[in-house]
Chains A and B, each alone.
Chain A
Amino acid sequence: MTANNDVLLEVEGLRKYFPVQKGFFKRTVAFIKAVDDVNLHVRRGEVLGVVGESGCGKTTLGRCLVRVYEPTGGNIVLNTGDQVLPVTELSGEQMRIFRRSVQMIFQDPYASLNPRMNVLETVGEPLKVNNIASGRELEERVAKVIQQVGLRVEHLRRYPHSFSGGQRQRIGIARALVVEPKLIIADEPVSALDVSIQAQILNLLKDLQAQQELTYIFVSHNMSVIRYISDRIAVMYAGKLVELGPKEELLARPKHPYTELLLAAVPRAVDRRRGHRTVTAGEPPDLARLPSGCVFRTRCKYAHDRCAEEEPHLRELETGHFVSCHFAEELSLGGVVPRVKSLAA
């Protein structure tokens, strides 16, 4: 793999299949290909947004990357700067380094915090279990990180129930930050929050990234949020990575028909003035019974015979812009046209 020091994480041919079992003997009758042959890399200090609909594999991808799930196949390599870790086959000592280097932020701040642990215990736990700090030092580090996320030292002895949703998400972020990781995987971190609170958390994540040279993989179904936070965007559909490119490029000139469909579906306040929108019918396919060839062809208005016969592979169409579509060169797809002036000027 590349020895490029700019690359923090390199993912090659990653697969995660879940068996579908039936009958008394739990015979495996099929596989759900939740993540299938995903290739991507994450550069140091960037935000990679992973976007897609439910069932597209974005959460499974994130969980494979933190080793919550054991991948079925493929390679993941983390280059911390000091060390190159083969994430899929870590030794005991390497696992300890890995756990400090990669942390996760979860969606639901109501479910992801233990109600019987106060802030100090919750945020301090990763320091304790990783033998990084204890006692006085632990408390000092927790106090420092708690202030970085916009909470106060007097909150340390309080329990989750006394915090609002936004504050709870700040606790979750503090817990991820306390071990000073290189990479943070954030899985829908603002989806459960009220709209007036979302911006606080998004800005906090942006500020922390700039101050601490963090790298994020930001998983979300919300294209507008992805657009705000990301440098590059990866679009997933039915377990496959279908397009990957720099944000402006991908939004303005999408190369995959699914990206076009996804962008067109995002609600805009001006929709009513535009009259009837043409919307594409159909739903994502059953992951246990994927169509032959291209997984998107059943909903694709540009599909040809070749799409049913041959599976497209991700290829670099322009520098840094990858797409898996046989006809990417020939299609001219519609992207996002920015409004000249914001409606609420």
Chain B
Amino acid sequence: MQNTNNVLVDVQDLKVQFNLHEGTVHALEGVSFQIQHGKTLGVIGESGSGKSVTAQAIMGIIPSPPGKVTGGRVLLNLPENDASVRVVNVTELPPSGAEIRNIRGKEISMIFQEPMTSFSPVHTIGNQIMEAVRIHYPDVSKQEARDRTIEMMRRVGIPRPEERVDAYPFQFSGGMRQRAMIAMALVCHPRLVIADEPTTALDVTIEAQILELLKDLQAEFGMSIMYISHDLTVVGGVADDVMVMYLGLVMEQASTDELFDNPLHPYTEALWRSIPTIDGDLDRLTPIRGALPSPFAVHKGCPFYSRCEKRIPGVCDQSRPPMIEARPRHWVRCFLYTESK
């Protein structure tokens, strides 16, 4: 879809399903996108959209069973020291094999939503951050790993890091714990950081601090970020490109400016009209009708059909709309735009 040079992550037609007692959940039904080096891809989606499963697939940590990759590829283009590029297909690697373990934490790392539960309570913050360095760089001495940890803690804005490195997670506030998690994610200078709702559990003034910190760190270290959130305004504030997911499909994808100025998909438009903002019109919100369909439901046509204001009966419910480039570098999965192409 986009030019292939400078692409770090290339996800092609990824399909993931979960086989549960109650039935099969088609969590991803053919998801394709790319993340460029040094750029931020924002992923917007509600519960059940598949945004977190996409992140898990890139990390190779889809819980299996019940989860299973049933199709597609996740290609990582990892530049080597000799200027060549090593291409790795994550979906083909054994999930606990040496190769993916060498990538996880070193080339790709993750920041989770809950800073309270993502740290082990019985180890010091410093030891948990240091662990990544010790594993991925066995030649680095213990003292050097500790120094790197303290330096990274300082960089993410933890005051007095030479003392705090020996503190336990319970001694940190929520905001400080999230900073420590960012330090843990960045200590090996990964090429990609996946941030899955990293500020949802934080207060709004702390959220603003963390968002600016991530932007500063990206400018300094040049890593790519995949930023996952249900909050359109947060994603709009940090991302270069945005994709909107709904029930396991990418519905729309474009640069952030283009997507926010010219939303094309009825779901994206409806989302915008349904959220209160701090600076937008104070008109009555227009809710999206109905509720999210059951995760077990199988959709022959467009998964948004039951809630869509612009649906075309006999078309949208009969087959799945294709992803088309309706405007330059602006892709949308909707039959409203297939005629004009």
The residues of A with any CB-CB pair to B shorter than 8 Å are 53-54, 164, 166-167, 194-200, 202-203, 206, 221-225, 227-228, 251, 261-273, 276-277, 279-281, 283-284, 336-339, 342-344
Contacts and interface: CB of A to CB of B under 8 A. Distances in A.
Contacts of B232: 195, 269
Nearest to B291: A164
Given A195-B46, A267-B237, A338-B281, 15 more contacts: A194-B230, A196-B46, A196-B270, A196-B288, A198-B276, A199-B275, A200-B288, A221-B204, A224-B277, A268-B278, A269-B235, A271-B233, A271-B236, A272-B239, A343-B280
B273 A344 contact: yes
Contacts of B173: 283
Contacts of A279: 205, 208-209, 212
Contact of B208 (A200, A264, A284): A264
A336 B275 contact: no
7 contacts: A197-B291, A221-B204, A262-B205, A267-B234, A269-B233, A271-B211, A271-B233
Interface string B227-253: 000111111111110000000000000
Interface in B136-179: 157, 173, 175-176
Contacts of A197: 287-288, 291-292
Given A267-B208, A343-B261, A272 B236 contact: yes
Contacts of A268: 233, 236-237, 277-279
B19 interface: no
Given A196-B46, A276-B215, A343-B260, A223 B204 contact: yes
Residue among A268, A272, A273, A342 facing the most chain B CB atoms (10 A cut-off): A272
Contacts of B114: none
A280 B205 contact: yes
A283 B206 contact: yes
B209 A281 contact: yes
Nearest to A264: B208
Contact of B274 (A195, A269, A284): A195
A190 to B, nearest CB: 9
A162 to B, nearest CB: 11
B295 to A, nearest CB: 12
B233 A166 contact: no
B203 interface: yes
Contact of B280 (A194, A222, A339): A339
A200 B286 CA distance: 8
A267 B272 contact: no
A166 B204 contact: no
Residue among A199, A261, A262 facing the most chain B CB atoms (10 A cut-off): A199
Contact of B212 (A164, A196, A224, A276): A276
B263 interface: yes
Contacts of A339: 279-280
B269 interface: yes
A195 B231 contact: yes
Nearest to A339: B279
A344 B204 contact: no
Interface in B170-224: 173, 175-176, 203-209, 211-212, 215-216
Contacts of A198: 274-276
Interface of B: 46-47, 157, 173, 175-176, 203-209, 211-212, 215-216, 230-240, 256-257, 260-261, 263, 268-282, 284-288, 291-292, 307
Given A194-B47, A203-B285, A261-B205, A227 B276 contact: yes
B340 to A, nearest CB: 20
B219 to A, nearest CB: 9
B285 A202 contact: yes
B47 A224 contact: no
Nearest to B157: A281
Contact of A199 (B215, B279, B286): B286
Contacts of B276: 198-199, 202, 222, 224-225, 227-228
A269 B237 contact: yes
Given A194-B230, A199-B288, A271-B236, A344 B206 contact: no
A203 B284 contact: yes
A251 B239 CA distance: 27
A265 B209 CA distance: 8
A284 B239 CA distance: 28
B233 A227 contact: no
Given A195-B231, A199-B288, A267-B237, A342 B278 contact: no
A179 B240 CA distance: 51
Contact of B279 (A166, A228, A272, A337): A337
A246 to B, nearest CB: 13
In the A-B complex, the 7 residue pairs with the closest CB atoms? A269-B236, A271-B237, A344-B272, A199-B287, A228-B276, A199-B274, A53-B203
A269 B287 contact: no
Nearest to B268: A344
Contacts of B272: 342-344
B291 A166 contact: yes
B298 to A, nearest CB: 19
A241 to B, nearest CB: 18
A270 B237 CA distance: 6
A227 B278 contact: yes
Contact of B203 (A166, A167, A221, A267): A221
B287 A267 contact: no
A202 B274 CA distance: 10
A272 B231 CA distance: 15
A338 B274 contact: no
A270 B236 contact: yes
Residue among A167, A251, A342 facing the most chain B CB atoms (10 A cut-off): A342
Nearest to A344: B272
A194 B208 contact: no
Contacts of A344: 260, 263, 268-269, 272-273
B227 to A, nearest CB: 11
A266 B278 contact: yes
A269 B239 CA distance: 10
